[in-house]
Amino acid sequence: MEEKKGMPLLGDKFPELTVQTTHGIKNLPGDYKGRWFVLFSHPADFTPVCTTEFVAFQKRYDKFKALNTELIGLSVDQVFAHIKWEEWIEENVGVKIEFPIIADTGKVAAELGLIHPGKGTNTVRAVFIVDADANIRIIFYYPQELGRNMDEILRAVEAMQISDKNKVAIPANWPNSEMIGNHVIIPPATDSATAKQRLEDAKAGKHECYDWWLCHKELK
């Protein structure tokens, strides 16, 4: 019996794949070594919601690149369909799609667990955010009916990079948190001495605290 593949988990290495794209053959994740990438699947070319998504991703492409992050689309469509769809978007919407789109035979979708249950070969709207060491850091999963929020995907990439660099946590709705604005969260103390020191440091103006376990600061 053929083994059923599921989605990779957070923290897993992104699987090694050789794929056909609108920019030629690419090896994942090797061709993106040292860079983050966002791989996102869509149900099919020439569909309304997917078209709005590709335009939205393209309009933010420079912002992703500024974060050392590339975009890669994917669906179970032939490369000829991808190319024709790109041409349609440019001719009718005035937006040129500059990132590659994987033309999948179904093998990649099966490897990543992207086939939508009960909808033939259509892929779900999945998003894999992969870091510069090829670790899967975030997975978003949407139904066909709901288009994605690209600003949230962009925010997630930036937030994870800030977290990695500064060893901090990121609050809800950052950088517009209802509690702490654009501040980031200092990891909670794990011993009594550090807990006491956190409050003393807050009094000295080094950071701010609601309590020893909820301290935050502005990134300089």
Inter-residue contact 92 to 86 (CB < 8 Å): no
- Pairwise CA distance, residues 141 & 112, whole Å: 12
Q: Output the DSSP codes for 69-130.
A: EEEEEEESS-HHHHHHHHHHHHHHH-----S-EEE--SHHHHHHT-BPTTSTTPBPEEEEEE
Does 17-149 match 167-220 in CATH topology? Answer: no
Architecture of the CATH domain 17-149: 3-Layer(aba) Sandwich (3.40)
User: In the chain, what are the domain boundaries?
Assistant: 17-149, 167-220
Q: What is the pLDDT of residue 122?
A: 67
Contacts with 207 (C-beta within 8 Å, 6 or more apart), sequence order: 186, 198, 201, 215, 216, 217
- Pairwise CA distance, residues 107 & 113, whole Å: 10
User: What residues are labeled active site?
Assistant: 50
Q: What is the pLDDT of residue 109?
A: 85
Q: What is the pLDDT of residue 117?
A: 63
Q: What is the pLDDT of residue 120?
A: 56
Compute the average pLDDT of residues 67-96: 96
- Pairwise CA distance, residues 207 & 85, whole Å: 51
pLDDT, one tens digit per residue, over 194-205 is 999 999 999 999
Q: At residue 86, does pLDDT exceed 60?
A: yes
Position with higher pLDDT, 85 vs 124: 85
Number of alpha carbons in the 13 Å side-chain half-sphere of residue 185: 19
Q: Please give the sequence-ordered ranges of beta strands (E in DSSP) within the chain, or none if there are none.
A: 17-21, 24-28, 36-41, 69-75, 101-103, 125-130, 136-142, 184-186, 208-211, 214-217
Between 59-63, 108-112, 164-168, 215-219, the lowest mean confidence (pLDDT) is in 108-112
Range 167-220 has CATH code 3.40.47.10 = no
Q: What is the pLDDT of residue 2?
A: 44
- Pairwise CA distance, residues 163 & 108, whole Å: 30
Supply φ then ψ for residue 102, to 5 degrees. Answer: -75, 130
Q: What is the pLDDT of residue 129?
A: 98
Q: What is the pLDDT of residue 5?
A: 54
Q: What is the pLDDT of residue 121?
A: 59
Supply φ then ψ for residue 177, to 5 degrees. Answer: -65, 135
- Pairwise CA distance, residues 85 & 87, whole Å: 5
For residue 14, give both structure tokens: 């992104």
Inter-residue contact 45 to 85 (CB < 8 Å): yes
pLDDT, one tens digit per residue, over 124-175 is 889 999 999 999 999 999 888 899 999 999 999 999 999 999 999 999 999 9
Q: At residue 1, does pLDDT exceed 50?
A: no
Confidence of residue 179 (pLDDT cuts 50, 70, 90): very high
pLDDT, one tens digit per residue, over 18-73 is 999 999 999 999 999 999 999 999 988 999 999 999 999 999 999 999 999 999 99
Q: What is the pLDDT of residue 106?
A: 83
